[in-house]
Amino acid sequence: MTSKRSTARPPLFTAPFSRTIACTLGVLITSVIVGAGATLYLPINEIDRIGMPAVLFPLIWLGLLFFATMTRNIRTVWLWLTGLCTLHTVLIYWHLTGA
């Protein structure tokens, strides 16, 4: 006789509501801010520095979407998204205010 094993699987995604918000609004806002902020530090000529983040915006968004979907711990997702947003917002602020 085989031993009885539990057939219940852990849910595929933890925190589905929070993750949905992270994958939609969170990823979109972060990718826009990262794309805008990246124009300040990419080590290439001025035109490419402004143009490349805009042209490659779909890739930035897709990378963040996959990260937000695949990462098991939703706190890690939010930590990275808010961290990236904060870092780039501060960079933009410094640049605009000349601080």
Partner 1 sequence: MQRDTTRKYYALYSWVGAVTAILLFIIAFTGAMSVFGRGELQVWSNESIRGLDNIDLPAIELLLKEHAAQVDPAYHDHVQVIFPGPHAGNTLAMIFEKEVEAPQGGHIHEAIWLGFDPETLELIERHEGEINELFLNRPSNMSDFLITFHGDLHLGSPLGLILTGLLGLTLFASVITGVVIHPKILKELFSLRPWRSLRLLFTDTHKVLGVWGLLFHGTIGFTGAYLGLTAAVLIPAGAFVSFGGDQEKLIATFLPEIEPVMTGAPAEMHLTRPLLDLQAEHDSVIVGSAIYHGWGDEGAVVAFSALGGSSLSGETHEYSAATGEPIQHYSGFGRLQGVTKYLLDAMVPLHYGNFGGFWVKLTWFVLGLGTALVSVSGMMIWLERRAYSSEGSLSAAQYHWIGKFTAGCCTGVVVATLSLFHAQLLLSVPAAQMGQALGTVFFGTWALATCWALLRPNAYLGTRELLFIGGLIAMTVAPVNGLMTGDWFISTLRQGHWITAGVDLALLASGILMILAARAIPGQRPLRERSSRAEQVVRNEALNSDYTEGATP
Judged by CB under 8 A, does residue 37 bind partner 1?
yes
Contact indicator for 81, 68 with CB cutoff of 8 Å: yes
- For 3-7, the CB contacts below 8 A with 24+ separation are none
Choose, by CB under 8 A, the member of 40, 42, 80, 84 that binds partner 1. 40
Question: Chain-centre distance of CA 98, in angstroms?
Answer: 27
Nearer to partner 1 by Cβ, of 1 and 8: the residue is 8
Nearer to partner 1 by Cβ, of 26 and 37: the residue is 37
Query: How far apart, in whole angstroms, are the C-alpha atoms of residue 54 and residue 39?
Result: 9
- Please give the structure tokens belonging to residue 48: 């490419």
Judged by CB under 8 A, does residue 90 bind partner 1?
no
Contact positions toward partner 1, by CB under 8 A? 9, 12-13, 28, 32, 35-37, 39-40, 44-45, 47-48, 50-55, 57-58, 61-62, 65, 69-70, 92, 95-96
